[in-house]
A and B are shown apart, each in its own frame.
Chain A
Amino acid sequence: MTGPSTSPDSRLASLREALPTLRVSVHVADRIAYARDLWPGGQLEKLAGRFAPEPPLCVVWPTDRSELVRLVAWARERGTALVPFGAGSGVCGGTTAGAGKVIVDLKLMDSVVRIEPQNNLVRAQAGILGWHLEDRLNEEGLTLGHFPSSLMCSTLGGYLATRSAGQCSSMYGKIEDMVVSMEVVAGTGEVIETGRDMGGGLGPDWTQLFVGSEGALGFITEGTLKVHPAPEHRVMHGYGFERVSAGCEAIRRLMQAGLRPAVVRLYDEFDSVLARSGAEKGSEADSLLERITGQVKGRGALPWLKRRAMQVALSRPEIANRVVDELAPMVSADGCLCVIGWEGDRRMVDAQARLGHEELMRSGARDLGEEPGWHWLRRRYAVSYKQSKLFTSGAFVDTMEVASTWNRLMDLYEGVRKAIAPFAFVMAHFSHAYPEGCSIYFSFAGSASDPVEARMRYERLWSAALAAATRAGGTISHHHGVGRSKAHFMTEEHGNSMLLLRTLKSTFDPDTIMNPGVLGVGASGAP
């Protein structure tokens, strides 16, 4: 193996020699554009002047598996790290390159291989964008049922690699429930079909062992997934709960009653204000602040206080969070908003919607009618793909999604909230519910006097929040993944079952060329 010490030029030359037909770019614009994903910490680094401190060696666009196999062989020989790249919508530094690495963009491998309506299956290449795949299926009267907010800017391979979860996960399942098999080009260069049309064969379920591997074991090149008839009927409804704990209890009972709602979302006191609002444009956090200040104004504060209030709120989050706690009942007169949606076969939808409604009303819900439900549905992809305007004013925004069984959920909620509170303004919603537990999605915004301090504050916030989640017995990520940003916390998350992950890594990527550092395996983790 030739070490990475050889010059970039000689490595590029050898790459071109090994794969003469491979599309390669060494253009500075590409290398900078591909240097980071949407991890907000990367945004802060840029503001602190580290724009693309370690740009990748190059970006390549393979067109088929055999090219990938040869690329892997070349990388093993040259000791060069490969970074699988879907659409870069990851929010944990999963595709953050690092000097000398090769970014492998899979978006040219984006065809729907076949649709088997009789078997309720679709086979597609990994580089296809989520909404393109969904569009193709819709043409056949089918749906995958996977609707992450990032549907338009993320790929099938990305979903499978990060264990993505969509907005209708309670009904259609998460990506690992949908996939029955994947084709993987492993870090050894071998092509592995993990399952088959009828799932795994004898022995361990390899599909489940490659789902969530974040590029650390190999490239996911194709997937076979279950599909459903496009829903013929949909019922959307809003409910109000006085406190978030009461809402959680109601959702627990709903999920344990044997019903399968498509959408279950509960917003805490402040997130509710936001969820009810327009907020068609801009990031959640931007409009959050508009709302806080707007609502305060609406309740009699002087208009010119607005800007000032925003700044104070963010630089003194512990006070802002407390003020919000006090204001909450006043600001959101309807309490916590809960959106429930049902879809599918008309008869089953109607029966479930009725049963669900009764169950929620028995749990003390206030009936808010259909409109809040439809309002949510219209805005389901209205999150911004642009980074928040707030960043340019020295502030930061980010999200953290955790989960636990019901018995720990309120401790997890309070614990993480308290951990974030000294550093940022924080709010939350509960968006993926299970009979045995629920996820919590925290959004937070903080500020500092300068980018360097912002970065420090941001890091301290994350350390505190991750520790709080683990302490409360929750997982540190429900669906965003680990990437590099949470890699240092994998041992806390998994204890000594990390041993099993390391075994997988050394088996399928013996030379640690595959996205080293993600998931806390391979090389050093810092993004």
Chain B
Amino acid sequence: MSSRDNEQQPVSAPYPEITAQLTEVVGAENLSSSPVDTIAHAVDFWPRKLMETRAGRWHRGPRWVVWPGAAAEVAHVLRIASTYAIPVIPYGGGSSMVGGASPRGERPWLVINCKRMCNILDMDEGSMVVHVQAGVVGVELEERLNARGFSLGHVPTSMTTATLGGWLSTRSSGMLSSRYGRISDLCLGITAVLPDGQLVHTRVAPRRATGPELMHLLLGAEGTLGIITAAHLRLHRLPLHRQFDSFRFERIDEAAEALRRSITSGVRPLVARIQRDPRLRRSDRDPDAPVPDAAALARRVLLLAFEGPAELVEAERGVVRSHVAELGGEALGQAPARRWWGQRFAAGFRMTPVLVRENSFADYVEAGVTWAGLAGLYRAMEEAFASRGWRTRLVVEHARMEGVSLGCAFWGDAASPQEAVASYDAAWKVAQQVCLAHGGRLGHVYGGGQHRAVLLDEWGKGRLELLTRIKRKLDPAGIMNPGVLGTEP
């Protein structure tokens, strides 16, 4: 135990007493310290931890996992945690890619798993607003909404794992973000429990001008200021007319420019992605296929989906086509984009087979970048990774008026478990340097957790320092997810 732990948590911490108090709040069936549950909550989806686990280094799980059933119970639990200065991790689906939902260090962690709070509290179909508890898993919420003719329009690849509370706490961005925005754009108000057990509820209006929009203090805070227990969300109506289009360009530059001009014209595609030419897949798989030349490697496809009233969808497609034509793009029809749509959830989990391979390493860099900076960042990222022998797959996604997010999946193999972790860290150093030099903003999609915060530049660190100051006021005992987002461990 570190000296810090000794100060805050005397060795004689009354664990049985704490357990008894927690049990009283949530009931014995909703509290666990069993290995099954604590091991399950020991890691999240942060590849670095998965790599360590693979190499035989087991991570210590939390001391307790509780599953409260209502905000009032969360409040009780947090009061107990405050009293005994027990560090708390608000836990949704544990799909955090950055270590935001896993314990760190040797302290006696308390994980508050929100998944029992998963009910739709109210549905106002006329206003297309749903009031729902934050522990609901994304796909379950979407299916329940679909059954009533609605959709949330938030579809991250981790849809089957992640919860609403996790989305809100990381300001998640899904694959339909070009049309429907981030989860924060879909949120009209939240209920949250602060560390001292106080319940705050930001009232719902389509819009208001009565001071700053206060829910934004908790959105993106990654559990460092409180626990979000429910939210009001905007919905969209089903069924929607949907169409696809695909175009091939000689270079990333023209592909990006066609997309930029389309968005600037007011087109709001459901999906917009720029990725490598799918024809290259054949040469990936078939060792006898001819080695692609530089021109083939440089080609990029723009995959688009559209949704909405049929006539408007056709107008949008017309606008896109004219921009594509001006930039010399080749129309590939609906098929490539449709194919991507059909496999849209598989893509995210392709990392898994890499990571089960001994001594391999892999992760996904996501950096925001303006349109003007995109091509430069794209090439620099590609080259920096290739020159070190690491494989990459780059994707342009989350397009909006001022820019996009550049995704860069990277992977490679090392000689030993230690080297794999070292290469992983080195790869992130490279990503950090490339972003610094080319205007990439790290942490654009997955949040910061334990990982990205240390990679930020001065500006980014300055923002987190503001959060730390707020945290000292709202969480004087420092119990809420300490150490995440650069807050005091």
Contact = CB atoms under 8 A, between A and B. Distances in A.
Contacts of B312: 258-259, 348, 351-352, 355
Interface in A414-449: 432, 434-439
Interface stretch (B44-52, B380-388, B447-455): B447-455
Interface residues of A, number: 88
Contacts of A202: 220, 443, 447-448, 452-453, 456, 460, 463-464, 485
A355 B466 contact: no
B370 A503 contact: no
Interface in A475-494: 475-482, 486, 490, 493-494
B417 interface: no
Interface string B185-220: 000100000100011111111111111111011111
A154 interface: no
Given A201-B441, A351-B314, A474 B205 contact: yes
Contacts of B201: 495-497
Given A204-B467, A481-B210, A407 B127 contact: yes
Contact of B214 (A196, A355, A439, A494): A494
A199 interface: yes
B207 A501 contact: no
A478 B208 CA distance: 4
B402 A119 contact: yes
Contact of A347 (B128, B205, B319, B473): B319
A436 B402 contact: no
A29 interface: no
Interface in B167-197: 171, 184, 188, 194
Interface in B391-419: 401-403
Given A203-B467, A499-B198, A258 B309 contact: yes
A193 B218 CA distance: 20
Contacts of A17: none
Contacts of B372: 116, 118-119
B316 interface: yes
A436 B234 CA distance: 7
Nearest to B211: A519
A1 interface: no
A354 B402 contact: no
A192 interface: yes
B217 A204 contact: yes
Interface string A484-527: 00100010011111011101101100000000000100000000
B284 to A, nearest CB: 32
B267 interface: yes
Interface centre among B127, B260, B368, B460 (most CB of A within 10 A): B127
A180 interface: yes
B210 A482 contact: yes
A208 interface: yes
A477 B126 contact: no
A350 B315 contact: yes
Contacts of A439: 206-207
Contacts of A391: none
Interface stretch (A159-167, A294-302, A453-461): A159-167
B196 to A, nearest CB: 10
Interface residues of B, number: 81
A495 B203 contact: yes
Contacts of B204: 405
B67 interface: no
B466 A206 contact: yes
Interface centre among B129, B207, B213, B315 (most CB of A within 10 A): B207
A228 B264 contact: yes
A208 B265 contact: no
B463 A118 contact: no
A164 B209 CA distance: 7
Interface stretch (A30-38, A211-219, A237-245): A211-219
Interface string B142-178: 0000000000000000000000000000010000000
Given A435-B234, A519-B211, A119 B371 contact: yes
A165 B210 contact: no
A226 B260 CA distance: 13
Contacts of A344: 265-266
B197 to A, nearest CB: 12
A209 B219 CA distance: 11
B221 interface: yes
Nearest to A92: B209
Contacts of B452: 202
Given A202-B443, A203-B485, A432-B207, A345 B319 contact: yes
B349 interface: no
Given A192-B466, A205-B184, A205-B220, A503 B309 contact: no
B212 to A, nearest CB: 5
Given A214-B211, A354-B311, A208 B216 contact: yes
B470 interface: yes
Contacts of A100: none
A504 B225 CA distance: 13
Given A116-B372, A355-B309, A479-B209, A501 B319 contact: no
Contacts of A435: 128, 234, 236
Contacts of A499: 194, 198, 200
Contact of B205 (A345, A348, A437): A437
A258 B238 CA distance: 11
Interface in B354-369: 368-369
Interface in B218-238: 218-222, 234, 236-237
Nearest to B317: A347
B463 A201 contact: yes
A229 interface: yes
Contacts of B194: 499
A120 interface: yes
A212 B370 contact: no
A256 B237 contact: yes
Nearest to B224: A203
B368 to A, nearest CB: 4
A209 B234 contact: no
B276 interface: no
Nearest to B125: A407
Contacts of B463: 200-203, 206
Nearest to A521: B211
Nearest to B129: A436
Given A203-B467, A478-B208, A480-B209, 8 more contacts: A174-B207, A204-B216, A205-B220, A351-B314, A403-B205, A406-B124, A475-B208, A500-B214
Interface of A: 116, 118-121, 162-165, 174, 176, 180, 192-193, 196-206, 208-214, 216-217, 226, 228-229, 252, 256-260, 344-345, 347-348, 350-352, 354-355, 403-407, 432, 434-439, 474-482, 486, 490, 493-497, 499-501, 503-504, 506-507, 519
CB-based closest 5 A-B pairs = A437-B206, A198-B368, A351-B315, A163-B209, A475-B208
14 contacts: A120-B371, A197-B402, A203-B221, A204-B467, A208-B212, A209-B213, A228-B266, A229-B264, A355-B312, A435-B128, A437-B205, A438-B206, A481-B209, A494-B211
Interface of B: 124, 126-129, 171, 184, 188, 194, 198-214, 216-222, 234, 236-237, 240, 260, 264-267, 307-309, 311-312, 314-316, 318-319, 368-372, 401-403, 439, 441, 443-444, 447-448, 452-453, 456, 459-460, 462-464, 466-467, 469-470, 473-474, 485
